Structure 1
Amino acid sequence: MNQEQLTALLRTLLQFGGGIAVGHGWIDAETATAVSGALLTLLVTAWSLYARRNAGLVAAAAAVPAVKAILADPATAQAVPSAKVRPAE
């Protein structure tokens, strides 16, 4: 799942949850909008940080068919489950 798909899914789920909360009278529409925006921002930021960690970047590069081999530090090489990623010596 890429970041755009994740963002769209989260936005839809938050709108759905906010609609239920507004429909039951638990919160007003402005609060639902503010809470949804804040949660979406925090969740997408957390996903971005996770996806862009060293192992995530190396795994994404290893998934590219044109890449034949990647030399990485031993900890990163061990964290990425790909035969293309080898520890640098």
Structure 2
Amino acid sequence: MNQEQLTTLLRTLLQFGGGIAVGRGWLDADTATALTGALVTLLVTAWGLYVRRNAGLVAAAAAVPAVAAILADPATAQAIPNAKVRPSA
């Protein structure tokens, strides 16, 4: 799942939950909108930081068919289960 799909799914689920909360009188519409925006922003930021860590970037590069081999530090190479990723000297 890419970041745009995750954002869309997250926003839809939060809007659904916010609609239920507004319908039951737990929140007003403005508060539900503000909470949805804040939660989407925080969760997408956390997801972006996770995906862009060293191991995530190397794994994404290894998934590209044109890439034949990647030399990485031993810890990163061991964290990625892909034959293209090899530890550097």
Q: TM-score, normalization: structure 1?
A: 0.99
Residue 27, structure 1, aligned to residue 24, structure 2:
no
Question: What is the deviation of 1:32?
Answer: 0.1
Q: Given the two structures, how large is their TM-score scaled by the length of structure 2?
A: 0.99
- After superposing on structure 2, the runs of 4+ consecutive aligned residues of structure 1 that deviate more than 3 Å are none
Displacement after TM superposition at 1:88 (Å): 0.3
Counterpart of 1:80? 80
CA–CA separation in structure 1 for the residues paired with 2:4 and 2:80: 23
Give the SS at the match of 1:68.
coil
Rounded to whole Å, the distance in 1 between the matches of 2:81 and 2:26 is: 46
Q: Distance in 1 between matches of 2:28 and 2:65?
A: 50
CA distance in 2, matches of 1:79, 1:50: 14
**CA drift at 1:64:** 0.2
Give CA deviations for 1:36-86 in whole Å, capped at 9, x if unaligned.
000000000000000000000000000000000000000000011100000
Structure 2 unaligned blocks of 5 or more: none
CA RMSD for the aligned pairs? Answer: 0.3
Gap runs ≥5 in structure 1: none
Q: Percent identity?
A: 84
